[in-house]
Amino acid sequence: MLSDDAFLTVIDALQAAQIPYMVVGSLSVNLYAPPRSTQDADILVHVDPGALQALRPKLEPSLRWEPQLSFETVTSSTRQVLELPRTGYKVELFFLTSDPHDQERFARRVRVPVLGRDMYLPTPEDVLVTKLRWSHLGRRAKDVDDARNLLAVQGDRLDWDYIHRWCDTHGTRALLDDIRRSIPVV
């Protein structure tokens, strides 16, 4: 099994079980900006952790389940990690939090075709707001790069009132403005 196959197997299982989800992280950035390689797939799920266990028989032995849920410090969320044996490729299932932006971005998710499937992803505005927030909280350079690349491609097509509202709420407006100034005008 290849990484795309592992990712699609999880998406198919979530859809078959009617578990609400949204593809996040670098895979969502790749939809709106120049793609970059990644060693994982991040999926936000809206389900009780116990209910997710019902998928386990459908996904094993192709994917190895971490024995315990873990806490991810940058996103402040709980996750279930699945790993494709012998590759290091991971599918991380993050549980939807009560955070107001997490709730709103999940409610705004859009269905788009990816890898031959229709699947749910965040809007480009929500990808940007999230990347700025993660960069601010975790000091991750890749999040700033992702935000810059998304801005360079999406530019004027973005809902700036929405972005400004959340950046003001999260304290990332100065970072957003700095990144915007760093993008050459063509």
- The 10s digit of each residue's pLDDT in 86-120 is 888 899 999 999 999 999 999 999 999 988 999 99
Please choose, from the candidates 96, 92, 120, the residue with its C-alpha nearest in 3D space to the C-alpha of residue 108.
120
CA–CA separation, 136 vs 102, rounded Å? 16
- The 10s digit of each residue's pLDDT in 18-35 is 999 999 988 999 999 998
- The 10s digit of each residue's pLDDT in 44-62 is 999 987 888 888 888 887 8
pTM of the model: 0.91
CA–CA separation, 65 vs 81, rounded Å? 6
Distances 168 to 72, 75, 122, 150, 172 between C-alpha atoms, Å: 24, 18, 20, 19, 6
